[in-house]
Amino acid sequence: MTTSGYATERETTEGRVFTVTGGDWDTVTGSIDPLSNEKIVVNMGPQHPSTHGVLRLVLELEGETVTEARPVIGYLHTGIEKNLEYRNWTQGTTFVTRADYLAPLFNEAAYVFAVEKLLGIEEQITDRARTIRLLFMELNRISSHLVWIATTGMELGAISMMLYGFREREYILDIFEETTGLRMNHAYFRPGGVAQDVPASAIKKIRDFLVYMPKKLKEYEAMLSGQIIWQERTQNVGVLDVTGCLSLGVTGPVLRASGLAWDLRKTMPYSGYENYEFDVPTAQTADVWGRYLVRMAEIRESLKLVEQALDKLTPGPVMIADKKIAWPAQLAIGVDGMGNSLEHVAKIMGQSMESLIHHFKLVTEGFRVPPGQVYVGIESPRGELGVHAVSDGGTHPYRVHMRDPSFVNLQAIPAMAEGALLADVIAGGASLDPVMGGCDR
Amino acid sequence: MSVEPNAEPAGANLGAPAQTPASPDKGMFGIHGTGDVSGFGGLVRRRPANADSPRPFGGYFDEVHDALEEAYPAFADAVEKVIVDRGELTLHIAPEKIAEVCQIMRDDESLRFELCSSVSGVDYLGSDNRRLHVAYHLTSLTYRRRVRLEVAVAPGTPVPSVTAVYPTADWQERETYDMFGIVFEGHPNLTRILMPDDWEGHPQRKDYPLGGVPVEYKGAVIPPPDQRRVYQ
């Protein structure tokens, strides 16, 4: 019997249950008879087992070998899909951006592409808006991969990697803040274009970042790639081949690390990706090491894309010309710190009653979307992010479903973990890069 | 000036119930109808097109349609409708045939839809008896194609599970069950996945009651979103 202040134990009908809070593993194993009780069920989570969110893993162990793994999700379910049905189509971006919080711009992009496809206005999106979207999605892909390398490094014992990864990510979040006003949850992409033009100061920061980042990537590789512990923890760990990936629906870097160059940016291009030059990095190892190599290479490809997008960025409007969809005013931060447009206020209050009515109707009621359904899939940092949007002809979505790659990819945890060691569950799970906000929505 | 302890503020009615009963024809501001005063609110909403699309469908859609017809003997019974809309092909499948159709869609070499990208439900409340729809979005990596299979069932009617063909549908069918109450027959472990295990009801159904917010001020309550003044 334990007398420790940390571990408590109680008898239940299912057997003896321990609550372990760290540092007291010996007391638990000490009170289990190794001959008669070989099997232990360990509840990992639901509080952060890593920094990916609230995920719970129920692991059945024999010694240190996992015999059964069962992921339990739903702790971060916030009903985003249901909420969308009671807001207008434009307000929807504010909700979807909060799903996968490490790749907010991808959520917005998939959603606005779906709305634009429903409206049939894809061709009318201005070049500048299209380029800005691509530019910001690629910056977001870099920041998301940086969080992956940072947290995975931390989980596998390379603590300094976490500090470096988050430091560089902050650089990108500064660029986002400069442009959208927020570090995360931007609601920057809107049906018809983007909310604001990119300020010149942000363009300069992006240019600086393009010089800064490659050096840092070399630093990461110098720190990790040759590191024997890093290699031992990642090579031949969490193996999932192409067949396994496709039958479990796993896409993104995990699929590409098993050798299949399936990247929706190349295979089903959208938003003008067909006009850019970039490669789809793959690896043949199908393990955590391969996923590391693929993600590092993808950051480099994204830098190439960002550079090309900056060169293609020609002046022009960032919102569709159609007045039935475009927000009437280009808001700017006023002296009072509020978003305002004095010119527009002068017009609607002084000259044009119709403009005032139009503005009011568009903002309070929103635009109508012809009935029908569409599915749009884009390549998020974690794989295929799909939005299935249904309209009944009203000003609100009738139904929006987000096919989040974290949700689908997490199904692969049992396939990777069962039969492996307990420590490899962490490496395998982290290599999927799950974000629970997206998974549970 | 002395203040009497426990004096009731003027106007407060502490005996009033915290929630007033919802009145169906009175929204937050006492608006009748839509509340739309612009004169343009009389537009009648159309239901999504239900008629079969005419041949040719265009693009690769004809090829997919014909390849399935050739490979699947029960095609005429299984495919209820073919709809091409906004550059997407939707095959409406008889619910009891969906698993068979998926098997053919995956294995036939002129179809090769290897990946089931997404499974999701839609509740078309008020359309007809078979109001609950399940949409399967299949992707062919070989041909770089997408197709949507859709089944419609009445509440309580089971749909065969496609997990034997597409193991990735496991969690997605669980989510559809959780949110819409559609039962997938043959699913290895059809339990709730996002909502708590002991939750009652299926929240994404259109007739699922939404909660209001009692604000505890003179019996006032913020009505649930579907009863508020709203522009539909």
For B88, the closest of A361, A374, A411 (CB atoms) is A374
Lowest mean pLDDT segment, chosen from A310-324, B105-119, B176-190, B207-221: B207-221
Encoding tokens for residue A354?
């119709």
Look up tokens 């638990």; give the residue.
Answer: A28
For residue B3, what pLDDT band results from cuts at 50, 70 and 90?
A: very low
C-alpha distance from A60 to closest chain B C-alpha (Å): 18
Residues of B in contact with A388 (CB under 8 A): 118, 120, 135, 137
What per-residue confidence (pLDDT) applies to B13?
A: 41
What span, in angstroms and rounded, lies between the C-alpha atoms of A383 and A288? 16
Which residues in chain B are contacts of A246 at CB distance < 8 A? 114-115, 141
Are A361 and B38 an interchain contact pair (Cβ–Cβ within 8 Å)?
yes
Neighbours of A212 (CB within 10 A): 12
Whether A14 contacts A39, CB under 8 Å: no
Task: Pull the structure tokens for residue A247.
Answer: 């039958």
Among A74, A361, A384, whose Cβ lies nearest the Cβ of B193? Answer: A74
Query: A73–B193: do the CB atoms touch at under 8 Å?
Result: yes
Percent of chain B with pLDDT over 90: 40
Instruction: Give contacts of B126 with chain A, Cβ < 8 Å.
Output: none
Judge whether residue B170 has pLDDT over 50.
yes
Distance between CA A9 and CA A413 in Å, rounded? 29
Chain A nearest CA to B83, separation (Å):
11
What is the C-alpha separation between A284 and A120, in angstroms, rounded?
40
B91, B125, B179, B194: which to substitute to probe chain A, counting the most A Cβ within 10 Å? Answer: B194
- Put simply, the answer to whether B168 touches A396 (Cβ < 8 Å) is no
For an interface test with B, the pick among A56, A399, A403, A440 (most B C-beta atoms closer than 10 Å) comes out as: A399
* A200-224 vs A288-312: helix crossing angle, rounded to 10: 160
Domain covering A80-321+368-440 assigned CATH 1.10.645.10 in the classification: yes
Q: What share of chain A is helix, strand, coil (3-state, %, to 5)?
A: 50, 15, 40
pLDDT band at B26 (very low <50, low <70, confident <90, very high): very low
Cα separations in angstroms, A365 against A192, A360, A368, B36, B181: 17, 8, 9, 9, 32
Using an 8 Å Cβ cutoff, are A238 and A288 in contact?
A: yes
In contact, B187 and B202? CB cutoff 8 Å: no
Start-to-end Cα distance in chain A: 43
Average pLDDT, chain B: 79
Q: How far is A154 from chain B (nearest CA, A)?
A: 28
Q: Mean pLDDT across the stretch B32-41? A: 54
**What is the per-residue pLDDT for B36?**
58
Beta-carbon count within 10 A of A77 CB: 20
- C-alpha to C-alpha distance for B194 and A94, rounded to whole angstroms: 21
Q: Which residues of A touch B195 (CB under 8 A)?
A: 74, 77
Cβ count near A12 (within 10 Å): 7
| List of chain A residues whose C-beta atoms are within 8 Å of the C-beta of residue B85 | 372-373
Q: From B194, B210, B46, B225, select the one nearest B121 (Cα to Cα).
A: B194
* Crossing angle for the helix pair A159-180 and A200-224, to the nearest 10 degrees: 170
| Domain residue limits, chain A | 80-321+368-440, 332-364
Whole-number Å distance between alpha carbons of A248 and A233: 24
10-residue mean pLDDT series, chain A (441 residues): 54 71 65 66 69 79 86 90 88 91 92 93 90 93 93 86 91 91 89 89 92 92 89 89 91 92 91 91 92 93 93 89 79 68 80 82 83 92 93 87 93 89 86 88 86
Q: What residue in A sits closest to B47 (Cα-Cα)?
A: A392
Question: Tell me, what's the pLDDT at B24?
Answer: 43
- In this predicted complex, what is the ipTM? 0.84
Domains of chain B by residue range: 61-192
**How many residue pairs bridge chain A and chain B with CB atoms within 8 Å of each other?**
128
Q: Could you read off the pLDDT of B79-111 as tens digits, one per residue?
A: 888 888 888 999 999 999 999 999 999 998 888
Q: Look at residue B5 in the predicted model and tell me its pLDDT.
A: 47
Contact B118 A403 (CB under 8 A): yes
Say yes or no to pLDDT of B51 above 80.
no
B231 min Cα distance to partner chain A (Å): 5
Provide the pLDDT for residue A148: 92
pLDDT of the residue at A303:
93
What is the pLDDT at residue A381?
A: 93
Nearest-Cα distance to chain A for B49, in Å, is: 7
- Comparing A76 with B42, which gets the higher pLDDT? A76
pLDDT at B61 over 70: yes
User: For position A181, what pLDDT does the model report?
Assistant: 84
What's the CATH superfamily of B61-192?
A: NADH:ubiquinone oxidoreductase Nqo5 subunit (3.30.460.80)
Query: Mean pLDDT across the stretch B159-184?
Result: 93
